[in-house]
Structure 1
C-alpha cells in the first residue's frame, strides 16, 4: 500500500492548482485523473482579475500573461451596458483570454516541476476514512489498488465520484433551458446581432420563441463559439452526443440559415442546472471546483472559482499535515468558500433570467441596462464577477480584514518591489510599514511559516494600517498597530499559523 499526505482526485485546473499549492507547502501529493489524456476542447475561455492576482502571488503569472489577449470589459447577461474593468482596484484590471486547455497545461507542468505525482488513467472507485486518514481504492490500467493518505480532495467535476462516495448532498436548481454549443467556422456571412450585448456581435434573437443564437469570435482566425438557446425547453438526455445535423437544424430554426457552418471542432450541450454541495468538508475529505459547485457559465465563473478554492484550501491542508493547523483552520475552508459559491450561483441564476428574450421580461432587462450605466452599480457587478470584492468574515475592526491585500509597491532598504513578490514561497507575510518597522520581531516565533517584511509604501494609500498580517492566499487576517495591539496580533498569528516555535 502506497502512502502520501494528500490524494487529489481530478487533474483539471482546480486539481492541478491544488497540487501546486500542496507541493509548495512540502506536502507529498498524488493526483489521480480518470482520463488518459487531457480534454482537448476549451470548456472555459478566460481568467478573471483575482485569478491573475493569485497566479502572481506565486510568481506563476508571466507564462499566463505572455501573448494572451486582454479583455478590458465584460458583460452582465449580455445586456447592452458593458461592465467596465479598468476602474477596478487591481494591477490587472482586465480579463485574460486563456483557455481551460492552456491553463491546465501550464498548471500540470508546474505541479510536476514542484514534485507532484500525476497518474492519468487512474480513477477513484472506493473511499473509506477513519480518525487518522483516508483509504482510497483506485482503479488503474493494471487493476485496482489502495492508497492511504492523510486527506483526500475531490476535484473531479460536477459528477464527482468523491462527493458521492463521501455521502455529501448536492442540492440545486433543475434545468429551465437547453443550449447547444459549437466551436466552428462559417463560410457565409453572419447576421449582426440585435440586443446581444457588447461581446456577442453576431446573432439573432427570437422573442416569440424565447430563443436566440450568438456567434462570438475566438482568437483563432475565423473560429467562433456558437450558442443556441431555447428557454422553457430541456434535453431528454443531457449527455447525448450532439450531431452536426442537430446543430445545423437548430440554427435554421432560430435564424432561417446555418450560414455555412463548417470546420466544427467541438459540439456539446449545456443547461442552467446549478448545484452546490451542502458541505465542502466531511472529515478528511474535501471538495473543490465543480465537485463543490456547478453553475451556468454566465461570465465564466466556473474555472476561476475552482482555482480560487484551491488557493484557499492548499495552505490550510499543508498546515494540518505539518501539525500546526487544526480542525478550526480546516473548517474555515467551508465557512469561507461556501458563501462565495452561494453568491456566484445567485449571480449566474440572475443572468439566466435576464438572458431570456421573453417579451414579458423586457422591462426587467431595460431596467438592469439602465442600472448598469450607473458607475456604482457597474462597479459592483464588475467586482463581483471577477472576484475582487470577496470578503471573508474574519474577526477584527480594520476594514481590510477579510479582504485581499492590495498589491502595493513596497520600498525596503534593499529594493522597491510589489508586495505580491513576497508570497512566492507560499508563506504568510507580516508587513510592517513606516514606524511599525521597529516591531519587526513580532513574527519571529512563527518564522518557519510567516515572513516579516519591513518597509514603506511607495505611494500614499489611505487603506493601509501600520502593519498587516496576510495569509498565504493573499487575504488580510489582521491589521493594526503591532505595538499597541500586540495581543491581537499574537492571537491572529496563533489562529492562522498555529502555536509559536519553542
Structure 2
C-alpha cells in the first residue's frame, strides 16, 4: 500500500510543531496541517516550566529561549517603571516562583537544599517565554528540519484502518501511516476518531486580554482575590485577567468588546477603569476533560486535544510540549521499524497520569478562587502555608514540573527522572549530546559501550567523566532525556572486551567500577531501543 507520508499531524501550534520536529529528527516523514493561515495572536500562555525548557534545551534551542525571555524581562521592567510615580520602582519585587489560585509565591522562601530543585543546568534560568514566541521558535526549527507545514488546511474527515489513516481536508485526501491530533481542545481528530472524553463541567467565566485603559493605576499589580472573584494585572503593560463565578459565557466565540472587558474588570476589581482599546482578548472557562486513552489504533492525541482544563498555573502549554517530547521518538521508532513491542503504548501509560494530575491541580485552584465564605477561609489557610519555606517549596516544585518522572521500574533513584544536566570533563554538558534526538549512553569507564555496539545510530556513547563526584558511573538516557538505566558502578569486563589503551579515556578520577550488573543495562537497551541491528561487539 502506498502512503503520502509517514505521519499526518493535525494542528500547527506549539504541540504539533514540537511533535513534527521530533518525528523528523527520528527519521519519519511528516506533514502538519493547520487550519489557520497564520499564527494566532490571541494572548495565551506566558511561561514555560522546567521539563519544557529542558526538552527544548536538549534540542539546541536555548539561545532562542534566552533571547525571547530577555525581551519579556525588559517589558516587565517597563511595566514596573510605569507603576512607579517617579519612573522607577521603589524597590525590587520579590523573586517570583509562580502562583497557586492567584496566591503569589516568593522564590526567597524556596529551600535551596531540595534535590529536585537542582541539577537542571541552564534550564533553571528560563521561564518567561510566551506561547507565540515558542511557536515562532518551533516554526523556524521545523522549517530547518524540512517539515512541511500546510496552513489554511482544515481536517474534515478521517478513515482509519489497520494499516494507516486517510485524512480528508478542505482541499485534498492524504494517506498516512499514522495520524496525531494536536488540534486543540475542540479537536476534530478526537471527535471523528471516537475518543472518550470524560471530565467536569465549567463554573467560571474568565477573560484574559491586552488592553489600553485609563485609570489602571487603581489596579494593584499581581493577583488579587476580591468579594466578586479574582483578577490579575501585569506583568506587562495592559495585561489583565478576570475570573467571575456568575455562570459560564453564553457565547464562547463571539467578539470580545472593550465594554465587556471593562464591565468584567470593574466587577471583580471594584475600580472604575475605562478600557479604550483591545489589542487581544480571549474568554475561557474551567472545563476539565481528558481522553481515557491517547491512542486508538493508528490515531493518537497530544496537547489540548488529549486534555483540556483552565490555564491557572501555566500547565497547558507545558503539558503539550511534554506529550510531544514523549511521543515523537516513540512514533518515529515505530515508523522506522525498530521499536520494541509495546513502545508506543507507553506514551499513554507515561503521560496520562501527568495529564490527570494537571486537571486536578487546576480544579483545586478554581475551588480556592470561589468567593464564598468556605472557599475564602480555606484560601487563608493555603496562603499561610505559602508563607513558609516548606509550603512555598512544595507548591513551586509542583508548578515548575520538577517532580515529574515516569515509572520505569528501576532501582536506581535516577531511573525514570529527567536526566541531570551533568557537567563533563570535556567541557560539555549532558544536554549538548542530545541535540540529534538519539538515546545516550554515558560511559566514563569505557567498559559499557560494547553492549551498545549493535544499536548503530539509535544511540550515542560518550566517555567523558562526570565532574560531579556524586554522579553515576553509567547512565542510559532515552531520546526524550529521561533516564532508563543508571549505576553507581560499571564493570562489564566479564562480558565485553576491555577497550584498547588508545581508545580508553583517562578514568583515574572516575567512580569505582566494581560490581555492576550488565544485564540490567542490556534489558534497558532492549526495552527502549529494541533488538540490536547487529550482534553486540564480542
Same-fold call, TM cutoff 0.5: yes
- Structure-2 residue corresponding to 1:175: 202
By how many angstroms is 1:326 displaced?
4.2
Secondary structure in 2 aligned to 1:241? coil
Distance change in 2, residues 1:271/1:459 (3 Å): same
By how many angstroms is 1:188 displaced?
2.1
- Indicate conservation of the 8 Å contact 1:72/1:94, yes or no: no
Structure showing the higher strand proportion among its residues? 1
The answer to whether the aligner puts 1:494 opposite 2:526 as a matched pair is yes
Q: Within 5 Å, give how 1:54-133 maps onto structure 2.
A: 54-69=55-70, 72-82=96-106, 87=112, 88-89=117-118, 90-91=120-121, 92-94=123-125, 96-133=127-164
By how many angstroms is 1:2 displaced?
6.0
- Indicate conservation of the 8 Å contact 2:43/2:281, yes or no: no
The answer to whether the aligner puts 1:161 opposite 2:188 as a matched pair is yes
- Structure-2 residue corresponding to 1:468: 475
Distance change in 2, residues 1:212/1:351 (3 Å): closer
By how many angstroms is 1:353 displaced?
1.3
Secondary structure in 2 aligned to 1:113? helix
- Structure-2 residue corresponding to 1:299: 313
Distance 2:206 2:125 in 1: 27
- Indicate conservation of the 8 Å contact 1:138/1:146, yes or no: yes
- Structure-1 residue corresponding to 2:463: 454
- Structure-1 residue corresponding to 2:328: 314
Distance 1:340 1:67 in 2: 27
By how many angstroms is 1:111 displaced?
0.4
- Provide structure 2 residue ranges, at least 5 long, that are not aligned to the other structure: 74-94, 493-515
- Structure-1 residue corresponding to 2:80: none
Distance change in 2, residues 1:67/1:149 (3 Å): closer
Distance change in 2, residues 1:290/1:11 (3 Å): same
Distance 1:180 1:308 in 2: 26
The alignment's TM-score, normalised by the length of structure 1, stands at: 0.90
Distance 1:180 1:365 in 2: 22
Secondary structure in 1 aligned to 2:317? helix
Among 222, 226, 250, the residue aligned to 1:206: 226
Q: Within 5 Å, give how 1:403-442 maps onto structure 2.
A: 403-411=417-425, 415-433=426-444, 436-442=445-451
Distance change in 2, residues 1:245/1:439 (3 Å): closer
Which segment is superposed worse, 373-382 or 174-183? 373-382
By how many angstroms is 1:313 displaced?
0.5
Q: Within 5 Å, give how 1:214-363 maps onto structure 2.
A: 214-218=232-236, 223-363=237-377
The alignment's TM-score, normalised by the length of structure 2, stands at: 0.85
By how many angstroms is 1:186 displaced?
2.2
Distance 2:533 2:267 in 1: 69
Distance change in 2, residues 1:85/1:475 (3 Å): farther
- Structure-2 residue corresponding to 1:33: 34
- Provide structure 1 residue ranges, at least 5 long, that are not aligned to the other structure: none
By how many angstroms is 1:33 displaced?
0.5
Q: CA RMSD in A?
A: 2.0
Distance 1:303 1:125 in 2: 25
Distance 2:372 2:23 in 1: 48
Distance 2:49 2:254 in 1: 31
**How many residues get paired?**
478
- Indicate conservation of the 8 Å contact 1:396/1:478, yes or no: yes
The answer to whether the aligner puts 1:16 opposite 2:48 as a matched pair is no
Secondary structure in 1 aligned to 2:451? helix
Deviations, residues 340-390 of structure 1 (Å, cap 9, x unaligned): 001111111111112223232233112212222333332232122122211
Distance change in 2, residues 1:212/1:470 (3 Å): closer
The answer to whether the aligner puts 1:391 opposite 2:405 as a matched pair is yes
By how many angstroms is 1:257 displaced?
4.2
Deviations, residues 59-112 of structure 1 (Å, cap 9, x unaligned): 112111115146752112222543567942222335522221111111111101
By how many angstroms is 1:230 displaced?
1.4
By how many angstroms is 1:264 displaced?
1.4
Distance 2:472 2:144 in 1: 37
